[in-house]
Amino acid sequence: MAGPGEMTSLLQDGREGRPERAESVWWNRRSAWWALSAAPLLNMTIGIVLAPKIEVYTGLACMSHRPELFEKIADNSLLKSAVVALPRLCATDPEVRRVVAQLTTAETTMLGILSCLATGWWSSLSDRTGRRTLFFAAASGMLCANVIYILVNRFWRYLPGGYWWILLGPLIEGSFGGMPASMVAFTAYVGDTTSEQRRSKTLSINFGLYWVGFSIGPLVGNLALRMTGNIMSIFYIAVTLQAAFLLYTKFIMLEPLSKAQQEQARANWKLHHEPGQQSLTRQGLLLAKVWDLFAPIVRPLEAIKPVLKKSMDPTVRPRRDWNLFLAAVSIGCLFIIAGDLPFKFQYASAAFHWTAEENGFFLSTLSASRGIYLIIILPLIIKYFKPPTQEIEIKVESDTEPSGYKTIKQKLESPTFDLRLARISIFFEGAVHVVMVLFPSPGSLYFLGVFGTVGAGFPPAVQSVALSLYIHQGGEEVGKVFGALGVIQTLCGQIISPVLYGFVYVLTVNIFPLSIFVASTIAITSSGLILFLVRMPTHHEIIAKHTDVSGFNPGTSIRWGQSTDQAGALVEI
């Protein structure tokens, strides 16, 4: 991706390096909407198959391990017609549930690890070959995965290993980056086509459109299931929509990077990867390649390591500031629950006899309520309850003034509002899970989904806290801290989470299936307890940091002036 110094040229170049005058007509003018307009389409294909996958896994496992539960099946395909319905006994059979949990765990773990390793490579390639390459790779992987689901469902009896061939889908999808790569593609496209002043707002729209597409997908899938009675029709729809997105990317979407910028990126890449040390042994080259593979995961974490904090009192020894590190760990603990949704679907299928249609409706309700809260309700809460920015006058020492002092003005944000918002959000997130454990019912699950959206305020609030702590520590490159948080979210949410929930559910599915909700409650509680250890800098520390005046001390005169209503400023961060 182009550096900050190249952003001006990025905003002036047209498609494929055309001069700015070629952008006089709207179809040649670079805009983030070329990508954002297609965001709901691609995200809809992700949400539309999420719940049906569980029913496909259940059907394959049931036909393999409990074929006697089926009265009549016309051929080898699953749910060929509306007349032959998947027996409800399949979803409650212990052996079938165990196999489904194993398949779900293997799929999510494989997809998470491969996506974590491949997304960085594909993102780097898009700097050299264009952003559309990243879109094309991510969508192609998703399309291939859905095609494999269709083929394995139809021909699993003839394949060595049977239904386990379905894991070829996440293998291919993860190798092409999967959903993480698509999210990076949309973010990079916005960064290439918007100015710094508008970028935060446009990224917020991108995030909202993600939830719009994710909520529409299950509704479309439920409609198709009612009309056809065939669960696999949902996968055909997903393949069709993904193919349409690929055609849009290839023939309609404008390329935000010019030829010159791509050439410069290729030159920089060759210079950076030139093997200059000929004296390295074969083993050394192998180790270097292994490090290059994992460096994109390890190196960004340096941004959150504890740093030595100098005290305002020179007689006090410096100590390490752990606040940013603890905030990052708190984020990681919460994202561990990201992998519990497939197991919630499996639990609902067994305990409440929910079908893919009912699971899909629950997912749509969950996604829609979360999107509404994040786009409308939370910004209003911040606007009306966040303390306004205060303008203060600080009297500090000065060698240029006759009196020996000078007065400077400084605008001071509330240093603790976002931290309090994050703590309140995590409290609601944990409370609804406790309700589900104590009163398991379909109503409690919907209560968890709808009212639990209040907990959705935790990620943006705690990321704002992390950014404030990072800047207070002297950090200047904002992308570093968000890169570190992104690595933590991927590791915890897509690698650790599916392994943990799969292990817990397989061991307890026949004893205490509510264990997945207990595991989520423990993760949320751990996140909240760690967050309560985080301390924001005091007003005096912030003033001293911003003014950078060595003569300032806690006893310096401070006079508060009029409030300036900038309470919503941090919403754009």
Reported as a single tens digit per residue, the pLDDT across 47-78 is 888 878 888 888 888 888 877 766 544 444 44
Asked if residue 189 and residue 338 are part of one domain, the reply reads no
Asked if residue 349 and residue 471 are part of one domain, the reply reads yes
Question: Residue 248's pLDDT is what?
Answer: 92
| Within a domain: 139 | yes
| Distance, CA of 415 to CA of 34 (rounded, Å) | 38
Q: Which pLDDT band holds residue 562 (cuts at 50, 70, 90)?
A: very low
CA 73 and chain centroid, separation: 41
Asked if residue 351 and residue 241 are part of one domain, the reply reads no
Which of the residue ranges 112-126, 153-167, 334-348 would you say has the lowest mean pLDDT?
Answer: 112-126
| Within a domain: 251 | yes
| More confident call, 143 vs 346 | 143
| More confident call, 369 vs 200 | 369
Q: Report strand pairing: 405-412 vs 558-564.
A: unpaired
- Environment class of 335 (CB within 10 Å of its CB; exposed 0-12, middle 13-18, buried 19+): buried
Which of the residue ranges 248-262, 276-290, 297-311 would you say has the lowest mean pLDDT?
Answer: 276-290
Asked if residue 192 and residue 55 are part of one domain, the reply reads yes
Q: Which pLDDT band holds residue 401 (cuts at 50, 70, 90)?
A: low
Asked if residue 353 and residue 256 are part of one domain, the reply reads no
Asked if residue 329 and residue 209 are part of one domain, the reply reads no
How many domains does the structure of the chain reveal?
A: 2
Q: Which pLDDT band holds residue 197 (cuts at 50, 70, 90)?
A: very low
- Environment class of 95 (CB within 10 Å of its CB; exposed 0-12, middle 13-18, buried 19+): middle
Q: Which pLDDT band holds residue 556 (cuts at 50, 70, 90)?
A: very low
- Average pLDDT on 468-483 reads 66
| Within a domain: 44 | yes
Boundary (domain end) residue, out of 237, 254, 269: 269
Question: Residue 229's pLDDT is what?
Answer: 80
Boundary (domain end) residue, out of 203, 238, 269: 269
Quote the Cα angle for 462-39-362, to 5°.
70
| More confident call, 269 vs 284 | 269
Asked if residue 120 and residue 7 are part of one domain, the reply reads yes
Q: Identify the CATH number of the domain in which residue 332 sits.
A: 1.20.1250.20
| Within a domain: 569 | no
Judge if pTM exceeds 0.75. Answer: no
| Within a domain: 58 | yes
Percent of the chain whose pLDDT exceeds 90: 11
- Average pLDDT on 482-510 reads 80
Q: What is the pLDDT of residues 99-119, one digit of tens each?
A: 888 888 788 878 888 887 777
| Distance, CA of 94 to CA of 96 (rounded, Å) | 6
Question: Residue 195's pLDDT is what?
Answer: 61
Whole domain around residue 369: which residue ranges? 319-388+412-537
Average pLDDT, the chain: 74
Question: Residue 343's pLDDT is what?
Answer: 84
Which of the residue ranges 228-232, 291-295, 440-444, 546-550 would you say has the lowest mean pLDDT?
Answer: 546-550
Characterize 137-171 residue by residue with b for buried, 16 or more Cβ atoms within 10 angstroms of its Cβ, and e for exposed. Answer: bbbbbbbbbbbbbbebbeebeeeeeebbebbbbbb
| Within a domain: 39 | yes
Question: Residue 296's pLDDT is what?
Answer: 56
Asked if residue 61 and residue 137 are part of one domain, the reply reads yes
Q: Check whether 431 has a pLDDT greater than 70.
A: yes
| Within a domain: 528 | yes
Q: What is the dihedral of CA 82, 86, 89, 91, to 10 degrees?
A: -130
Which of the residue ranges 10-24, 438-452, 517-531 would you say has the lowest mean pLDDT?
Answer: 10-24
Using alpha carbons, select from 156, 136, 157 the residue that is nearest to residue 148: 156
Asked if residue 526 and residue 441 are part of one domain, the reply reads yes
Which of the residue ranges 233-242, 247-256, 497-506, 543-552 would you say has the lowest mean pLDDT?
Answer: 543-552
Q: Give the 3-state secondary structure of residue 66.
A: coil
Question: Residue 288's pLDDT is what?
Answer: 57
Question: Residue 4's pLDDT is what?
Answer: 38
Asked if residue 225 and residue 340 are part of one domain, the reply reads no
Residues 349 and 55: beta-carbon distance below 8 Å: yes
Q: Which pLDDT band holds residue 127 (cuts at 50, 70, 90)?
A: confident
Asked if residue 336 and residue 232 are part of one domain, the reply reads no
| Within a domain: 279 | no
